[in-house]
């Protein structure tokens, strides 16, 4: 019992001495912790007054923009939206007429060539639906690539205009009048939306809806945050311009690095057709079995599906999304 009491007394004495020696360091560490918490926005009254409110406001704005720009589950652009994004002034009725006309012409051509009328009808219907859809998709992708290429230059116009004292609306009008297509037409619609009474935030959001690209998403976020929380707009847009140019450099670098793989894939995909053509020139009776017999037709279909699978896999491997 006596030894236990002595052990407790010695422990308390050593603890008291250590606390006395290291108390100043602990106080300084505690003060540093409070200042750090204030800067980070947690753990003090000062953070609630000076640090936490702006940070929370920016976070709320970002969450709101992300929720607004995030498409619904399984959502895809409507036909009208895709036509507008492709720069085509077609209506739904005109698009349907073009599909029907293309399908009818292909049906007449295939039926006149001696193909069975049912097969000709199926092929014509599929082609009448797919070919206009493919054309719109190609036009849409090409227009978006052109917008991505010219958008950083348009941002530089805004940056120089804001630094020189021009209002943001005047800078946007300069882009709408003097920039390259399709940036000019898209910013002209943006200026028209502002003229109708929309705020900058609403106008840039509609720009993103017309051009659903990462570049327009970034632009919408910068304008929205600046309009709600304030800040140096020219500096923010300058950072955005640098980011977009770095993304462009990265895309070009990826394109250069994957060019060898794309060339190899093209050669591999074209090789069976080239070999079949030369075999047909030298031994037509030998290769004609693929077209005149049922087993040959089955082999052709199986080889075509297998080749299509290989091409799609190679395309997936050498294409990068940014």
| Domain residue ranges of the chain, discontinuous segments joined by + | 26-70, 77-231, 254-322
Distance of CA 116 to the CA centre of its chain: 45
Contacts for 304 with CB less than 8 Å, ≥ 6 apart: none
Q: What is the pLDDT along the chain (322 residues), one digit of tens a residue?
A: 544 443 444 454 545 544 444 444 444 444 434 433 333 343 333 334 334 444 445 566 566 666 666 654 446 778 888 888 888 888 888 888 988 888 888 888 888 877 778 878 888 888 888 888 889 899 998 998 888 888 888 888 888 888 888 888 888 888 888 888 888 888 888 888 888 888 888 888 888 888 888 888 888 888 888 777 767 777 888 888 888 888 888 888 888 877 877 787 788 878 888 888 888 888 888 888 887 888 888 888 888 888 888 878 877 776 666 5
The C-alpha atoms of residue 242 and residue 240 are separated, in whole angstroms, by 5
69 C-beta neighbours (distance < 10 Å), count: 15
| C-alpha triplet 215, 177, 174: angle, nearest 5° | 70
162 and 171 Cβ atoms separated by less than 8 Å: yes
Q: What is the pLDDT of residue 6?
A: 39
168 and 232 Cβ atoms separated by less than 8 Å: no
266 C-beta neighbours (distance < 10 Å), count: 12
Q: Mark out the alpha helices in the chain (DSSP H runs).
A: 2-40, 45-46, 52-69, 79-85, 92-112, 117-163, 168-178, 183-195, 200-210, 214-229, 233-282, 284-287, 289-292, 294-318
How many CA within 13 A on the CB side of residue 223? 23
Contacts for 235 with CB less than 8 Å, ≥ 6 apart: none
Three-state secondary structure string covering 34-63: HHHHHHHCCCCHHHHHHHHHHHHHHHHHHH
Task: Look at the alpha carbons of 76, 81, 85, 88 in this order and tell me if their dihedral is positive or negative.
Answer: positive
223 and 187 Cβ atoms separated by less than 8 Å: no
Q: What is the pTM of this model?
A: 0.62
Q: What is the pLDDT of residue 85?
A: 82
Q: Give long-range contacts, CB 8 A cutoff, 24+ apart: 232-240.
A: 233/162, 233/168, 234/159, 234/162, 234/163, 237/155, 237/158, 237/159, 237/162, 238/159, 240/155
């Amino acid at each position: 019992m006596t030894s236990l009491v002595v052990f407790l007394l010695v422990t308390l004495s050593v603890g008291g001495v250590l606390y006395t020696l290291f108390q100043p360091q602990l106080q300084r560490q505690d003060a540093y912790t409070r200042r750090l918490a204030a800067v980070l926005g947690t753990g003090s009254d000062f953070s609630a007054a000076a640090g936490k409110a702006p940070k929370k406001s920016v976070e709320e704005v970002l969450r709101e923009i992300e929720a607004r720009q995030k498409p619904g589950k399984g959502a895809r652009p409507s036909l009208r939206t895709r036509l507008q994004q492709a720069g085509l002034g077609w209506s739904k009725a005109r698009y349907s007429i073009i599909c029907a006309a293309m399908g009818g012409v292909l049906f007449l051509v295939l039926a006149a060539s001696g193909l069975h009328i049912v097969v000709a009808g199926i092929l014509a219907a599929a082609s009448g639906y797919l070919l206009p859809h493919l054309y719109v998709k190609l036009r849409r992708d090409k227009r978006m690539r052109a917008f991505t290429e010219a958008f950083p230059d348009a941002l530089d116009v805004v940056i120089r205009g804001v630094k020189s004292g021009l209002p943001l609306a005047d800078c946007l009008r300069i882009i709408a009048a003097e920039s390259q297509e399709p940036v000019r037409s898209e910013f002209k619609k943006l200026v028209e939306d502002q003229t109708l009474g929309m705020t900058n935030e609403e106008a840039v959001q509609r720009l993103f809806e017309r051009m659903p690209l990462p570049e327009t998403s970034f632009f919408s976020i910068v304008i929205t945050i600046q309009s709600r929380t304030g800040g140096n707009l020219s500096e923010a847009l300058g950072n955005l311009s640098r980011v977009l140019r770095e993304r462009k450099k990265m895309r070009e670098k990826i394109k250069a690095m994957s060019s060898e793989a794309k060339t190899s894939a093209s050669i591999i995909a074209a090789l069976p057709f080239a070999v079949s053509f030369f075999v047909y020139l030298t031994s037509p009776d030998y290769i004609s079995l693929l077209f005149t017999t049922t087993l040959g037709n089955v082999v052709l279909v199986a080889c075509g599906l297998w080749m299509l699978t290989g091409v799609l896999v190679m395309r997936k491997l050498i294409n990068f999304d940014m």
